[in-house]
């Protein structure tokens, strides 16, 4: 009798241990290692292309399931897992770009007010002299750009900005 109780107890303990370990094992499989390396534009574009192709395949399989009543749910689930494995690459690239273009809120507010004032000053100086101009905040290089359609007006802008202590790019089309 003792052996029978021991076997039942052992079976119950093993069953509970398996039930506890199972979600942990499943959770460990689904979590991916964070990417610490730099993701370049080519890898980003390639990954986006792969994900797009997988999403298109999923859409095709869904349409096939509706029309031909074929069960493609296993393949669709496989594609979901493959896409999930590629998503950290996109997330790391987005994180890199955010860091590259980030400007502190106070500095950004200052630059935007300078950009607005500068746009007004340039407009006043160039009205009727050019067909097109632009004053833009370039967040990647953290500068304000002035774009002109007439190279001869560069001197006008330079004289307008002579007293300004700004880093500007004056471009012409």
pLDDT of residue 3: 58
Neighbours of 171 (CB within 10 A): 13
The dihedral sign for the CA sequence 43, 48, 53, 55: positive
pLDDT of residue 24: 47
The model carries a pTM of 0.46
Side-by-side strand order, sheet with 133-138:
133-138, 143-148, 168-172
pLDDT of residue 92: 87
The pLDDT profile of the chain, 173 residues, written as one tens digit per residue, is 455 555 555 454 445 445 555 444 444 445 567 788 888 889 888 988 998 999 989 888 888 888 887 888 899 899 999 999 999 988 888 888 777 667 778 877 887 887 888 888 888 887 778 777 888 877 777 677 888 877 777 877 777 777 665 555 544 43
pLDDT digits (tens, 9 = 90+) for 27-36: 444 556 778 8
């Amino acid at each position: 009798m003792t052996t029978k109780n021991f076997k039942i107890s052992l079976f119950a303990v093993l069953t509970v241990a398996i039930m506890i370990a199972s979600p942990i094992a499943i959770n460990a499989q689904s979590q991916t290692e964070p990417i610490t390396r730099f993701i370049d534009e080519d890898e980003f574009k390639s990954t986006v292309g792969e994900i797009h192709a997988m999403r298109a395949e999923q859409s095709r399989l869904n349409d096939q399931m509706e029309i031909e009543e074929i069960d493609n749910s296993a393949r669709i689930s496989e594609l979901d897992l493959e896409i999930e494995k590629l998503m950290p690459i996109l997330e790391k690239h987005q994180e890199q770009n955010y860091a590259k273009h980030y400007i502190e809120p106070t500095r950004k507010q200052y630059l935007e007010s300078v950009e607005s004032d500068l746009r007004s000053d340039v407009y006043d100086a160039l009205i009727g002299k050019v067909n097109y101009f632009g004053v833009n905040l370039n967040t990647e290089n953290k500068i304000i750009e002035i774009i002109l359609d007439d190279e001869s007006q560069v001197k006008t802008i330079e004289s307008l900005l002579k007293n300004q202590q700004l880093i500007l790019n004056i471009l012409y089309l």
